[in-house]
A and B are shown apart, each in its own frame.
Chain A
Amino acid sequence: MLIPAMVVFLLTFAVPMILVGRLSLFASDYATTKFVGMQNYVTAIFDHYYVKSYENAFWFVLMIAPSIVIFAYTLSSVLSNYNKKTQSIARFVVYIPGLTSGIIMGLLWAWLLLRQGLINQILSVFNIQAIPFLSEQWPARISIAVISVISSIGGMVILFSASMHSISKELQDASMIDGANRRQYKKFIVRPMMLPTILLALLLNIVGIMQMWETIFVLTEGGGPEGSTASPVYEIFLTAFRFGKAGLAAAKGIILMFVIAGILVIKNRVEKWVK
């Protein structure tokens, strides 16, 4: 019964992994391939736009990850006071933007944020100068960050609600008997119990930010002003399919994988240290 899953795993994951590893040692523009050894990795590390994409990701992480965790935590904490039906409806509603394809969300946001878009038109009624939401470095970064928060908050709310739900009722009763009020219960019992989930949420967010692609593609084609909104994955996409450097893109991809693995290791360290 495992065989179908294994076949699909090999075809779509294991073999491609090996091929990418091999490709990263070659200079390839799809038509011709030449062995160059580690040259691609050196080029990638000194590639201005590639390094910049990590800088972008760093700023995105600073903007996005804390706000998602705070919003999602507060929201699921508030939701836990309501009955089951309200909870599942609310969770579903906040989850909808996350389920909808990033391409469609991108079209919708483009309509709001373009220079002739709705928000700027409303501002112009009050004679306020148009805000360059997508055409200058920081406004563009902030717009992308806001969009990303809105579309990934739903999944995090589900994650937090599920793990809050799994804290046993006895703990609450015991703390109440010991004379803790509701605020103390949340601060001293729920928050420490939720810490592993919060770390997991941070990790998922950071990995997700490295992989942002669709909104960037629709809203700031080509990586935005001076490549200041391109995520690492989008930069790899540009290298592979716009500039046609398959080998270099593969090397960049492998580096990205190691970066993500490094983040995973750090997360595990932090988790152990906290315990």
Chain B
Amino acid sequence: MVENSFTPAKMFLKMPPRLIPNELTLNNSIEAFKLPYLPRWILNTSIIMVVAVILGIVINGAAGYVFAFAKYKWCVYIFWTLMSSIFVTRYVLLISQFMIVGALGLRGLPAVILVLLFWPTGIYLFRNYYKAIPVELIESARIDGAKEWRILTSIVLPLSKPILGAAIVFLGMGVLGDYIWQMLNLQDPVEKTYLVGLMSSTLDVYKVKNIGYDLAVGTLLFIPYLIIFSVSSRYFIEGLTTGGLKE
């Protein structure tokens, strides 16, 4: 795909076709870079990603902490209510989520962020991870008079590097891949994200059938994934499969 994005359109129509193009061009990528709003789209995606990842970790991490260490009976009920939403398809709720976002006056980027923040799988992962931390550690901090947020930030957080890596990957991927919701909410070209913007440009160019351009866009869209993979792959699997403390 990467190689073919540098192939001019006419090469695809050659008979017989060749696997290795003998004429490389940057035109397809340059065409994509010429899109007037591209820098804006990249900026939008970065904003969404930073905000959604940080807020998502705070919200779901705190909830996971509560479910791991609180001893109230009703916490269990709330936990399973939240978990039941895993089995409800997101797409069924699209219409009414769209209505709510409209009623709150949150069209545009805030709407995109809001929907990403509820992440039951994340709560589950955080809870399981924190359950492996010895309760004595938390209780001794409570006896020393630490408030719950203080315990979370200064005791639990330093222990949770692997799970944070996994959370960053998952939430980041969520931002990058949430095509349908972003497409519905971001109609104004200034507000579009990297994904929606570039995809809308391929849908226009599609009629010309320049496969080279499509693949250039595909390659460009893949770059943020490569960045995320390379930053946090180390923590990723570890966070999913190991518990809180190493012996």
Total contacts A-B at CB 8 Å: 178
The answer to whether A158 and B237 touch across the interface, beta carbons within 8 angstroms, is yes
Task: Say whether B187 faces chain A, with CB atoms less than 8 Å apart.
Answer: no
What's the nearest-Cβ distance from chain A to residue B149, in Å?
7
Q: Does B37 contact A (CB under 8 A)?
A: no
Would B173 and A1 count as touching, CB distance under 8 A? no
Q: Which of A93-148 contact B (CB under 8 A)?
A: 96, 99-104, 107-108, 110-111, 114, 116-118, 121-122, 124-125
**B117 and A249 contacting across the interface, CB-CB below 8 Å:** no
Q: Does B66 belong to the interface (CB within 8 Å)?
A: yes
- The interface of chain B, by Cβ under 8 A from chain A, is 1, 4, 12-13, 15-17, 19, 58-60, 62-63, 65-66, 75, 78, 82, 85, 87-97, 99-100, 104, 114-115, 117-118, 123, 148-149, 152, 169, 173, 176-177, 179-180, 184, 195, 199, 202, 209, 211, 214-215, 217-218, 221-222, 225, 229, 233, 236-238, 240-241
For B176, what are the chain A residues with a Cβ–Cβ distance below 8 Å?
Answer: 101
Given contacts A20-B95, A257-B92, A261-B87, contact A5 B62 (CB under 8 A): yes
On chain B, the residues within 8 Å of A118 by CB distance are 17
- Check A188 for interface membership: any CB of B closer than 8 A: no
Whether B63 lies near A110 (C-beta < 8 A) is no
Task: Give CA–CA (A125, B17) in the complex, Å.
Answer: 8
Interface flag for A223 (CB, 8 Å): no
Residue pairs across A and B with Cβ atoms less than 8 A apart, 16 shown, are A12-B114, A12-B118, A15-B96, A104-B221, A107-B214, A116-B209, A125-B16, A125-B17, A162-B241, A207-B87, A211-B91, A214-B180, A237-B91, A240-B94, A250-B92, A253-B93
- Given A1-B65, A5-B59, A13-B118, also A101-B95 (CB < 8 A): no
B63 touches A5 (CB 8 A): yes
Q: Name the interface residues of A3-18: CB closer than 8 Å to any CB of B.
A: 4-6, 8-9, 11-13, 15-17
B125 to chain A minimum Cβ distance, whole angstroms, is 12
Find chain A residues with CB under 8 A from B97 CB: 12, 16
Measured CA separation A257–B93 after assembly (Å): 11
Asked if residues A1 and B62 are in contact (CB atoms below 8 Å), the reply is yes
Q: Report the minimum CB–CB distance from B54 to chain A (whole Å).
A: 12
Contact between B100 and A257, CB atoms less than 8 A apart: no
